[in-house]
Amino acid sequence: MRNFGVVAALLLCGCLAEDQYQTMVKNAAVCTEADTCVVTDLLPNSCTCSEVVRKNAAPDIENAAKRVSCGGQAVARCGSWVNPRCEAGVCVADAGT
């Protein structure tokens, strides 16, 4: 019964569960050589980090990140990404300093 309450709360608030968000990110990172990959904007005081995704998918990922239900989780400690690119069909980037 507890899971039903969590699902109902997420539906009512328009929130996304973390696993739903990660699925969206995974799909948005699929690319071809013709695609431009970018690093999404980092949201302050969030439990999500910047992601490396296709440029045309970045706005959807940034909007979804605002709706992630973190379940009382602490603010994420995120690294930075540089040199986003498409490699082997997936957007990747190098860890920044």
The tally of CA atoms less than 13 A away on the side-chain side of residue 56 is 7
Contact between residue 30 and residue 84 where contact means Cβ atoms under 8 Å apart = no
Looking at per-residue confidence, does 1 or 35 come out higher?
35
pTM exceeds cut of 0.75: yes
pLDDT single digits (tens) 27-80: 999 999 999 999 998 877 778 899 999 999 999 999 999 898 877 666 778 889
Nearest partner of 3 among 66, 63, 59, 71, judged by Cα: 71
Q: What is the mean pLDDT of residues 4-20?
A: 60
